[in-house]
Amino acid sequence: MLVGSLAIVSTQLAGVLSTRFTFHNNPEALVASKQMESLGSMDAVTEQVVFTVTDRSLRTPQKLRAMRAVAAAVEALGPQVITKVTSPDSLPQALIARSGNTAVMPVVMAGDINTAYSTITRLLAVTAAADGTAGMDINVTGLASLNEAVNTASERDLQTGEIFGIGLGLIVLLIVFGALVAALIPLILAIAAIIVALALTALVGQFGELSLFVTNMITMMGLAVGIDYALFIVSRFREERAAGVPKLDAIERAGATSGRAVFFSGLTVVVALAGLLVVPLSIFVSLGLGAILVALCAVIAALTLLPALLALLGDNIDRGRMPWSRRPRTSSPTRSFWTKLVERVMARPLVSFLATAALLLAASIPYWGINTGASGITQMPPSTDARIAFETLRSEFSLGDFSPVRIPVLGSAVEQHKEVAKLRAIAQTYPELGPLEIVPSRTATPGVIVQIPMLVDSSSDQAERIIRRLRAATPLPVGGATAFNVEYFDVSDDYLPVVVAIVLTFSFLVLLIAFRSLVVAALAMLLNLLSVGAAFGLLTLVCQNGVGADLLGYQQVHTIEAWLPLFLFAVLFGLSMDYHVFLLSRIRERYLATGDTTGAIAHGISSSARLITGAALIMVAVFAGFSAGSLVMFQQMGFGLGVAVLLDATLVRGILVPAAMRLLGKWNWYLPKWLAWLPEISIEGPSTGKREGTPPPSRR
Q: What is the mean pLDDT of the chain?
A: 83
CB 82 within 8 A of CB 75: yes
Task: Round to whole Å and give the CA distance between 510 and 504.
Answer: 10
pLDDT for position 42: 64
Task: Round to whole Å and give the CA distance between 280 and 266.
Answer: 25
pLDDT for position 699: 36
Q: How many CA atoms lie within 13 A of 45 on its CB side?
A: 23
pLDDT for position 394: 74
pLDDT for position 331: 45
pLDDT band at 283 (very low <50, low <70, confident <90, very high): confident
> What average pLDDT score do residues 184-204 get?
93
Of 365, 320, 335, 367, the C-alpha closest to 569 is 367
Task: Round to whole Å and give the CA distance between 678 and 666.
Answer: 20
Q: Tell how strand 372-373 and strand 210-211 pair up.
A: unpaired
pLDDT for position 122: 92
Answer whether residue 337 shows pLDDT above 80.
no
- Alpha carbon 483 to its chain centroid, in Å, reads 23
pLDDT band at 198 (very low <50, low <70, confident <90, very high): very high
pLDDT for position 202: 92
Answer whether residue 180 shows pLDDT above 80.
yes
CB 366 within 8 A of CB 538: yes
Of 400, 573, 559, the C-alpha closest to 489 is 559
Instruction: Print the SS3 string covering 19-52.
Output: CCCCECCCCHHHHHHHHHHHCCCCCCCEEEEEEE
pLDDT for position 59: 73
pLDDT for position 696: 41
pLDDT tens per residue, range 17-51: 876 677 888 889 889 888 888 887 766 678 888 88
CB 78 within 8 A of CB 59: no
> What average pLDDT score do residues 98-122 get?
82
> What average pLDDT score do residues 200-208 get?
89
> What average pLDDT score do residues 522-540 get?
91
pLDDT tens per residue, range 401-421: 557 888 999 988 888 899 999
Helix%, strand%, coil% for the chain, nearest 5: 70, 10, 25
pLDDT for position 141: 86
Answer whether residue 474 shows pLDDT above 80.
yes
Phi-psi region of 147 (alpha: psi -120 to 50; beta: other; left: phi over 0): alpha
Among 95-109, 499-513, 547-561, which range has the highest average pLDDT?
A: 499-513
Task: Round to whole Å and give the CA distance between 659 and 601.
Answer: 9
Task: Round to whole Å and give the CA distance between 39 and 34.
Answer: 9
Answer whether residue 192 shows pLDDT above 90.
yes
More confident residue, 325 or 314: 314
When mean pLDDT is compared across 6-10, 110-114, 259-263, the lowest value belongs to 110-114
Phi-psi region of 620 (alpha: psi -120 to 50; beta: other; left: phi over 0): alpha
pLDDT for position 142: 82
pLDDT for position 700: 36
Name the β-bridge partners of 538. Answer: none
> What average pLDDT score do residues 481-492 get?
86
pLDDT tens per residue, range 207-230: 888 887 888 889 888 888 888 888
pLDDT tens per residue, range 366-385: 999 988 877 667 777 777 88
374 — phi, psi (to 5°)? -130, 125
Answer whether residue 152 shows pLDDT above 70.
yes
Answer whether residue 632 shows pLDDT above 50.
yes
Name the β-bridge partners of 103. Answer: 51, 96
Q: 3-class DSSP state for residue 87?
A: coil
Task: Round to whole Å and give the CA distance between 648 and 635.
Answer: 20
More confident residue, 561 or 688: 561
pLDDT tens per residue, range 566-614: 888 988 888 877 777 778 888 887 887 887 888 888 888 877 777 778 8
